[in-house]
Amino acid sequence: MNLITSRDNPLVKELRRLSQDSSAYRKLGRVWLEGDHLCRAALTRGVKPEHAVFAESQWATAPLAWTRAAERNTVLPDALFAEISSLESPARMGFILATPTTQVVQPQMATVVLDRVQDAGNVGSILRSASAFGFGQVLAIKGTAALWSPKVLRAGMGAHFGLHLVEGLSPEALQALDIPWVATSSHQGPFLHTLLAQAKLPMPCAWLMGHEGQGVSPELAQRAELAVRIAQPGGEESLNVAAAAAICLHASATCHLVD
C-alpha cells in the first residue's frame, strides 16, 4: 500500500483530470472507475484493474476482494480523495483501467448505432438497455458523447463491461455491418407495435439512434432497410432518445420469443 498526501502528486493530478475531463481517458490511456458498483461490475466481467485507489477511511475496512484486485494500491486522505472526485458524495474508492482501444466492428452482432447522441446520460442509459436486451455491440459515430467519460460510465451502471464498444467511427465504417439496419423516425415508416404483433422485426439487427434534436442523419436513414415509428397516443412530438432506444431494443429482443 502506498500512501499519498500531496495534491501535487502526479497520480493525484492524473485522477483529477480523469474524473473531471470527459475526454482525458483518450489522452492518458486510462479510465477511472469511481465507486464500488462500477468496480464490482468490472471485476464480475473479468476486468483486472491496473491500480486501486482508496480513501483512508475506506482502506481501513475494505474487503480483500478490493484490496487484492489490482497489483497496486494507493491510499489518499479522505479530504484529498474528495478533491479528485466528480461526485457530490465521493465514493471513497476506485479503479484505474487501461483504456479499451478496440476498433473492430463485429459484422453480425446485434448492434446499436449512436449517431451523434450528445447527452452523456442518454448514452449511458442506451448502453444499459443494449446490455439488458442482448445487443452486444454499440458503435458510436463521431460527435457522440465519449463512451468512457465519467458521466457515461455512471449512467451506464456497469453495462460497458458486457459490451463490444467502438467509438469515433465515420458513417462509412458501418458498411462492415452484415445485418439489417433499422432507423428510428418520428414521422415515417410503420409503427413499432404493428411490426411486433406481426413478428416482423429483424433480429439480429442494427438500430440507429440519432441526435437528440436532429434525429438520425439523412445519410444513414436512407441506407436503412426499415424506418420505424413509436406510437405516442398522448400526443407528444417525440420521445427522449434513451426512452425510444429502450422501447425499440426490448421490442426486437422479445419479438421472436416463445413462451
Q: Which of 26-35, 184-193, 195-204 has the highest mean pLDDT?
A: 26-35
pLDDT tens-digit profile of 70-125?
999 999 999 999 999 888 787 899 999 999 877 799 999 999 999 999 999 999 99
The answer, yes or no, to whether residue 46 has pLDDT greater than 60, is yes
| Whether residue 81 sits in one domain with residue 44 | yes
| Whether residues 93 and 127 fall in one domain | no
Task: Identify whether residues 180 and 209 lie together within a single domain.
Answer: yes
Average of pLDDT values for 140-169? 95
Same domain for 118 and 49, yes or no, is: no
pTM reported for the whole predicted model: 0.91
Chain segment 60-74, per-residue pLDDT in tens? 888 888 899 999 999
**Residue 106 in domain:** no
Question: 123 and 29, same structural domain?
Answer: no
Could you tell me if 193 and 245 lie in one domain?
Answer: yes
Q: What is the CATH number of the domain that holds 67?
A: 3.30.1330.30
Note whether residue 141 is domain-resident: yes
215: domain CATH number is: 3.40.1280.10
Range(s) of the domain holding residue 40: 2-98
Residue 233: what pLDDT? Answer: 80
Task: Specify the pairing of strand 2-3 against strand 72-76.
Answer: parallel
Same domain, 19 and 146: no
Distance CA 135, CA 127 (A): 9
Average pLDDT over residues 196-203: 86
Predicted confidence at residue 238, as pLDDT, reads 72
- Average pLDDT (212-225) is 90
Residue after which a domain boundary falls, among 68, 98, 128 = 98
The pLDDT of residue 9 is: 96
